C-alpha cells in the first residue's frame, strides 16, 4: 500500500476543514506525512498524584478523585462550568468553557475519575482548565505508561486539533491500513542491525508499549533518517572517485613562485601553509578534488584561494571564484586584482549587474581561454558561461550554495574541475557530515598574528547615549564603526523605518561632531550601494549604518567597532559573522550587542554565548543546541534538505556516526547500489531525494 498516496481528509474525524489546517500549519496531507509527525515528548501516565502534592509549576499530571458541585457560572463569553474534584488529601477546581451538555450527562458524583491536565492557579486556588476525565474503572488502558504529546499551533488548537486529536488521527490511520506499512529497509539489514520493523517502530512512537520499545522505535527512525542522508551524500563521493578523473596539476610554476617570493603581502600562517599543501596534494593526485575549507572569519581564506588559483594557472587551466553576493564578489575582485596587479594575469568580474556588452565580452574570453581568472556571483552558473578549460572552481559560500549547484559547476569542463568550498561559519561536525559529507575537509585553525581578541559587551537600548559617546571616543582615535540593524522580511516595513530613523539620529549626532556616515541596505540600487561602501572603505565616511548585507566578507581593517541593534533578533552564527567584520587590524576591537530590556531566555543565552567566547566552533555548537539544525541559517536553501523529522543533529551524533560508517561500508562494496540485496536502498534514495533539490539560487 502506498501510504504517501492516501489523504488524511478521508479519515473519520478529519474532513476537509481540519485537513486544510493540518496542511497549511504542518504541511501534512498524506498518511505518511502524518505518521512522521513525531511526538516531541511523552507524558508518563503511570504516576497518579495526590491533590495535596500538586502545584501550578507541574506539567501534565493526573489524579484519582471524585467530582462534586458541577455548576454553570457567568454568562455570555465568560459562561463556564465548574466542579470540585477531591481526594482524601485535598481539593481542586475543574473548569470547562465548552462541552457542557456532555458534562451534565456524564458526571456522576458517586464515582471515581481519572482526571488529567495541566494544573494552574487562580486566586491562590489550584485548578485544571479543560481536564480530560475518564471513569477510573474504565481508564486502566490510559495508565499503562507513556502518552505521546504532539507539537500543535494556535490555529490547530482553535480547530480542536490538540495533541489528543492528533493521537486519535494516528490511531485511525493504523486501523485503516490494517497494520501494514511498507518497509523501507531490506530485511537482511534490519536483522543484521537488530532494528525494529518500520511498522512496529512507527506504531510505538505514537503508542509506546513500553519505555524499552519506545527507545528502540525512536532509534530505528532516527537511524534510518540519518542513514539515508549519509548514503545519498556519500554515494556522490564514491561515484566521483570512480568516475571522475581530475584535471592533473603536476606543476608548481612561475605564477605561484613569483607571487610567493615577490608579492605575498605577509608571511603565511602555519595553518594557511598546511591547507595549501593539502590542496596541492589533492589536486596533484589525478582524482578530482572536492574539498571544504573551514576557517573562522578573518582566518585568511582569501589568500589561500589566491594561491590555489595560481596553481591552476601554472598548469594552464582557467579558474573561477564564486561569491554569494555582489558586494562580496566585488570585494574579492578588488583585493585579488590588487594582489596580482604586477603579474600580468587577465582577470575579470561577472555579476548580475555586469553590463550587456562587457558580459558578452567576458563570455567570449572565457570560451576562447584568454581570461584566466573570473570572479563573480551566481551569474557564473548560467548555461551561457562556458570555459575553455577550467581546472579549479572556488566557492566562497557561507552555506548558500548546495550540492546541486556544486554539481552544476563540475559540468563546466570535460574533466570536472577541482572544487574548493570555503565556509566562514565553522559548522559542527554533525552538520558538516550532513551537508558536506561528500567533501574532504581542511581547517584553518589559526588567526593571523597580532590580532587582539574582540571585546564583546551587552547593553540595553536605554544606554544608547552612552554608546554614542563611546563610538565618538573610538572615532576620535581615527577608527571606524559599523552599526547594524536587522531587516527581516516579516516585518520589513517596520524594520525599514527603524533603520531610517536610526540613520537619521546617528547622522545628526555625529555630523555635529564632524563625522560622516554611509548607509547600505538590501533595497538600494547596486551602484548606490557600491558608492556608499566605497566611501566607507576609503575612510571618507567613518560610520557605516547597514542591514545584514555586510555580514558576508567585507574587510575594512580600520573598522574596530561593531554595534548591533536589536541583537536579540539575530541568530548566533549571524552575530558571530557580523562580529568578524571587526578585529581585523592591530587595534583593540569592540562588539556591542544592543537589546531591549525584556528578552527571551533563548536570546539571553545567545547574547551570553557571544559575550563569553570568540571561538567560532564553540558558537556553532551552541547554535545547533539552541536552534536545532533545521533553523541554522542557510541550511534550508542548501539544496540538501536538513529538515530532519526525527533525528536531531545536536543530540544524535552517535547515531549519525554509526549510520555514516555503515553507509560507507555498503558503498565501498557496491557504489551504485546495484546488487540485488541493495535495491531497496536505491529505490528509497530516489524516492527521498528526487524532489528536494531546489534550483532557486541558480535561476
- Between CA 355 and CA 357 the distance in angstroms is 6
Choose the contact partner of 272 out of ligand ADP, Mg ion, none; CB within 5 to 8 A by kind: ligand ADP
Short-list 144, 96, 97, 93, CA closest to 122:
93
Spatial neighbors of 519 by CB under 8 A, at least 6 apart, are 499, 503, 532, 544, 545, 546
Copy the grid coordinates of residue 192.
Answer: 543484521
- Between CA 78 and CA 98 the distance in angstroms is 11
Beta bridge partners of 395: 322, 421
Cβ distance to ligand ADP smaller for residue 208 or 426: 426
Choose the contact partner of 585 out of ligand ADP, Mg ion, none; CB within 5 to 8 A by kind: none
* Strand duo 590-595 + 455-460: pairing: parallel
- Alpha-carbon Rg for the chain, nearest whole angstrom, is 30
The answer to the question of residue 299 lying near ligand ADP (CB under 6 A) is: yes
Cβ distance to ligand ADP smaller for residue 282 or 296: 296
Among 34, 303, 336, 483, which residue sits at the site for ligand ADP (rule: CB under 6 A)?
303
**Backbone dihedral angles phi then psi of residue 577, each to the nearest 5 degrees:** -60, -45
**Which of these ranges, 9-17, 295-303, 356-364, 432-440, lies near ligand ADP under the rule CB under 6 A?**
295-303
**Backbone dihedral angles phi then psi of residue 531, each to the nearest 5 degrees:** -65, -45
The site for ligand ADP, by CB under 6 A, has a size of: 17
Cβ distance to ligand ADP smaller for residue 312 or 394: 394
Q: For residues 158 and 30, is the Cβ–Cβ distance under 8 A?
A: no
Short-list 392, 400, 401, CA closest to 419:
392
Cβ distance to ligand ADP smaller for residue 131 or 553: 553
Among 147, 269, 319, 609, which residue sits at the site for ligand ADP (rule: CB under 6 A)?
269
Among 297, 321, 371, 646, which residue sits at the site for ligand ADP (rule: CB under 6 A)?
297
The answer to the question of residue 268 lying near ligand ADP (CB under 6 A) is: yes
Choose the contact partner of 295 out of Mg ion, ligand ADP, none; CB within 5 to 8 A by kind: ligand ADP
The answer to the question of residue 301 lying near ligand ADP (CB under 6 A) is: yes
State the angle between helix axes of 492-511 and 464-476 in degrees (0 to 180), rounded to the nearest 10.
Answer: 50
Among 147, 163, 230, 272, which residue sits at the site for ligand ADP (rule: CB under 6 A)?
272
- Report the nearest approach of ligand ADP to the CB of residue 339 (Å): 9
Q: How many residues does the chain have?
A: 699
Binding mask 208-247 for ligand ADP (x = CB under 6 A): ----------------------------------------
Among 39, 119, 298, 426, which residue sits at the site for ligand ADP (rule: CB under 6 A)?
298
Cβ distance to ligand ADP smaller for residue 163 or 272: 272
Choose the contact partner of 115 out of ligand ADP, Mg ion, none; CB within 5 to 8 A by kind: none
Cβ distance to ligand ADP smaller for residue 151 or 557: 557
Binding mask 331-370 for ligand ADP (x = CB under 6 A): ----------------------------------------
Alpha helices in 292-414, H assignment, sequence order: 301-314, 326-339, 356-368, 403-410
Cβ distance to Mg ion smaller for residue 559 or 656: 559
Footprint on residues 507-566 left by ligand ADP (CB under 6 A): 555, 557
**Which of these ranges, 113-121, 231-239, 546-554, 682-690, lies near Mg ion under the rule CB under 5 A?**
546-554
| Grid cell 572615532 in the structure block, residue | 475
The answer to the question of residue 426 lying near Mg ion (CB under 5 A) is: no
Cβ distance to ligand ADP smaller for residue 126 or 292: 292
Choose the contact partner of 584 out of Mg ion, ligand ADP, none; CB within 5 to 8 A by kind: ligand ADP
- Report the nearest approach of Mg ion to the CB of residue 306 (Å): 12
First-residue to last-residue Cα distance in the chain: 38
- DSSP code string of 547-606: -GGGGTT---TTEEEEEETTGGGS-HHHHHHHHTTSS-SSS--EEEEEE-S---HHHHHH
**Which of these ranges, 186-194, 262-270, 282-290, 379-387, lies near ligand ADP under the rule CB under 6 A?**
262-270
The C-alpha torsion from 638 through 643 and 644 to 650, rounded to 10°, is 70
Taking CA atoms, 479 is separated from 100, 515, 614, in Å, by 70, 11, 21
Choose the contact partner of 630 out of Mg ion, ligand ADP, none; CB within 5 to 8 A by kind: none
H or E stretch covering 95: strand 90-96
Binding mask 583-612 for ligand ADP (x = CB under 6 A): -x----------------------------
- Between CA 447 and CA 270 the distance in angstroms is 10
Cβ distance to Mg ion smaller for residue 39 or 298: 298
Cβ distance to ligand ADP smaller for residue 321 or 439: 321
- Residue 187: strand, helix, or coil: helix
The answer to the question of residue 553 lying near Mg ion (CB under 5 A) is: yes
Short-list 41, 78, 65, 77, CA closest to 126:
65
Short-list 34, 33, 85, CA closest to 63:
85
Instruction: Give the Cβ contact number of residue 556 at 10 Å.
Output: 20
Cβ distance to Mg ion smaller for residue 195 or 329: 329
**Which of these ranges, 94-102, 361-369, 529-537, 548-556, lies near Mg ion under the rule CB under 5 A?**
548-556
CA 391 to mean position of chain CA atoms: 31
**Which of these ranges, 208-216, 382-390, 550-558, 668-676, lies near Mg ion under the rule CB under 5 A?**
550-558
Copy the grid coordinates of residue 483.
Answer: 552599526
CA 329 to mean position of chain CA atoms: 24
- Between CA 671 and CA 160 the distance in angstroms is 49
- Report the nearest approach of ligand ADP to the CB of residue 419 (Å): 18
Short-list 178, 296, 314, 175, CA closest to 247:
314
Classify the phi-psi angles of 450: left when phi > 0, otherwise alpha if psi is within -120 to 50, otherwise beta. Answer: left
The answer to the question of residue 448 lying near ligand ADP (CB under 6 A) is: yes
Cβ distance to Mg ion smaller for residue 163 or 325: 325
**Which of these ranges, 456-464, 531-539, 547-555, 653-661, lies near Mg ion under the rule CB under 5 A?**
547-555
The answer to the question of residue 302 lying near ligand ADP (CB under 6 A) is: yes
Give the residue at shortest CB distance from ligand ADP.
300
Cβ distance to ligand ADP smaller for residue 295 or 629: 295
**Which of these ranges, 115-123, 130-138, 139-147, 294-302, lies near ligand ADP under the rule CB under 6 A?**
294-302
Taking CA atoms, 557 is separated from 30, 305, 537, 562, in Å, by 54, 19, 9, 12
Cβ distance to Mg ion smaller for residue 425 or 566: 425
- Report the nearest approach of ligand ADP to the CB of residue 675 (Å): 44
Copy the grid coordinates of residue 233.
Answer: 551524500
Using CB atoms within 10 A of its CB, is residue 192 exposed (0-12), middle (13-18) or buried (19+)? Answer: exposed
The answer to the question of residue 300 lying near ligand ADP (CB under 6 A) is: yes
Among 81, 289, 348, 424, which residue sits at the site for ligand ADP (rule: CB under 6 A)?
424
| Grid cell 552517535 in the structure block, residue | 654
Across 249-377, the runs of DSSP E, i.e. the strands, are: 290-295, 318-322, 347-350, 373-376
Binding site for Mg ion (CB under 5 A): 553
Contact residues toward ligand ADP (CB under 6 A) are: 266, 268-269, 272, 295, 297-303, 424, 448, 555, 557, 584
Amino acid at each position: 500500500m502506498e501510504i504517501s498516496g492516501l489523504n488524511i481528509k478521508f479519515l473519520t474525524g478529519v474532513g476537509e476543514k481540519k485537513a486544510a489546517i493540518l496542511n497549511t500549519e504542518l504541511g501534512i496531507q498524506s498518511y505518511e506525512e502524518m505518521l512522521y509527525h513525531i511526538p516531541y515528548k511523552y507524558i508518563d501516565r503511570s504516576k497518579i498524584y495526590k491533590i495535596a502534592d500538586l502545584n501550578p509549576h507541574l506539567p501534565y499530571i493526573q489524579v484519582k478523585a471524585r467530582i462534586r458541585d458541577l455548576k454553570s457560572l457567568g454568562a455570555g463569553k465568560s459562561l463556564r462550568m465548574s466542579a470540585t474534584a477531591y481526594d482524601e488529601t485535598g481539593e481542586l477546581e475543574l473548569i470547562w468553557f465548552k462541552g457542557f451538555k456532555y458534562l451534565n450527562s456524564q458526571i456522576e458524583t458517586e464515582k471515581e475519575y481519572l482526571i488529567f491536565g495541566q494544573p494552574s492557579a487562580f486566586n491562590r486556588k489550584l485548578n485544571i482548565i479543560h481536564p480530560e476525565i475518564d471513569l477510573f474503572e474504565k481508564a486502566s488502558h490510559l495508565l499503562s505508561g507513556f502518552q505521546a504529546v504532539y507539537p500543535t499551533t494556535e490555529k490547530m488548537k482553535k480547530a480542536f486539533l490538540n495533541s489528543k486529536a492528533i493521537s486519535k488521527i494516528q490511531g485511525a490511520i493504523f486501523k485503516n491500513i490494517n497494520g501494514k506499512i511498507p518497509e523501507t529497509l531490506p530485511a537482511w539489514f534490519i536483522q543484521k542491525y537488530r532494528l525494529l520493523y518500520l511498522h512496529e517502530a512507527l506504531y510505538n512512537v505514537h503508542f509506546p508499549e513500553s519505555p524499552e520499545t519506545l527507545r528502540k522505535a525512536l532509534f530505528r527512525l532516527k537511524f534510518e533518517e540519518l542513514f539515508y542522508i549519509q548514503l545519498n551524500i556519500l554515494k556522490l563521493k564514491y561515484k566521483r572517485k570512480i568516475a571522475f578523473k581530475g584535471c592533473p596539476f603536476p606543476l608548481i610554476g612561475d605564477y605561484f613562485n613569483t607571487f610567493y617570493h615577490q608579492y605575498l603581502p605577509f608571511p603565511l600562517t602555519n595553518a594557511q601553509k598546511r591547507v595549501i599543501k593539502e590542496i596541492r596534494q589533492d589536486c596533484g593526485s589525478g582524482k578530482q578534488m572536492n574539498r571544504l575549507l573551514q576557517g573562522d572569519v578573518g582566518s585568511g581564506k582569501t589568500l589561500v584561494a589566491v594561491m590555489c588559483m595560481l596553481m591552476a594557472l601554472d598548469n594552464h587551466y582557467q579558474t573561477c571564484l564564486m561569491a554569494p553576493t555582489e558586494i562580496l564578489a566585488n570585494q574579492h575582485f578588488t583585493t585579488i586584482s590588487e594582489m596580482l596587479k604586477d603579474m600580468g594575469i587577465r582577470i575579470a568580474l561577472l555579476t548580475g549587474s555586469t553590463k550587456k556588452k562587457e558580459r558578452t565580452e567576458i563570455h567570449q574570453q572565457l570560451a576562447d581561454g584568454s581570461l584566466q581568472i573570473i570572479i563573480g556571483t551566481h551569474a557564473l552558473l548560467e548555461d551561457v558561461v562556458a570555459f575553455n578549460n577550467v581546472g579549479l572552481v572556488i566557492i566562497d559560500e557561507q552555506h548558500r550554495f548546495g550540492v546541486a549547484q556544486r554539481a552544476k559547476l563540475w559540468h563546466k569542463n570535460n574533466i570536472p574541475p577541482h572544487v574548493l568550498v570555503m565556509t566562514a561559519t565553522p559548522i559542527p561536525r554533525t552538520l558538516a557530515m550532513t551537508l558536506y559529507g561528500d567533501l574532504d575537509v581542511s581547517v584553518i585553525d589559526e588567526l593571523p598574528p597580532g590580532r587582539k581578541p574582540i571585546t564583546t559587551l551587552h547593553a540595553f537600548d536605554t544606554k544608547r547615549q552612552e554608546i554614542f559617546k563611546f563610538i565618538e571616543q573610538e572615532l576620535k582615535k581615527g577608527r571606524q564603526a559599523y552599526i547594524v540593524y536587522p531587516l527581516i522580511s516579516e516585518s520589513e516595513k517596520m524594520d525599514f523605518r527603524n533603520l531610517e530613523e536610526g540613520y537619521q539620529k546617528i547622522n545628526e549626532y555625529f555630523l555635529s561632531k564632524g563625522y560622516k556616515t554611509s548607509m547600505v541596505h538590501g533595497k538600494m540600487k547596486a551602484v548606490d550601494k557600491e558608492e556608499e561602501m566605497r566611501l566607507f572603505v576609503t575612510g571618507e565616511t567613518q560610520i557605516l549604518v547597514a542591514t545584514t548585507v555586510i555580514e558576508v566578507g567585507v574587510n575594512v581593517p580600520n573598522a574596530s567597532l561593531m554595534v548591533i541593534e536589536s541583537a536579540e533578533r539575530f541568530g548566533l552564527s549571524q552575530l558571530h559573522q557580523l562580529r568578524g567584520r571587526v578585529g581585523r587590524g592591530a587595534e583593540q576591537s569592540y562588539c556591542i550587542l544592543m537589546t531591549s530590556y525584556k528578552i527571551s531566555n533563548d536570546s539571553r543565552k545567545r547574547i551570553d554565548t557571544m559575550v563569553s567566547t570568540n571561538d567560532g566552533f564553540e558558537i556553532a555548537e551552541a547554535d545547533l543546541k539552541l536552534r536545532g539544525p533545521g533553523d541554522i541559517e542557510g541550511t534550508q536553501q542548501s539544496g540538501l534538505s536538513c529538515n530532519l523529522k526525527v533525528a536531531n543533529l545536536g543530540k544524535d551524533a552517535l547515531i549519525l556516526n554509526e549510520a555514516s560508517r555503515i553507509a560507507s561500508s555498503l558503498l565501498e562494496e557496491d557504489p551504485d547500489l546495484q546488487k540485488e540485496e541493495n535495491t531497496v536502498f536505491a529505490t528509497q534514495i530516489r524516492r527521498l531525494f528526487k524532489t528536494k533539490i531546489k534550483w532557486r539560487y541558480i535561476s
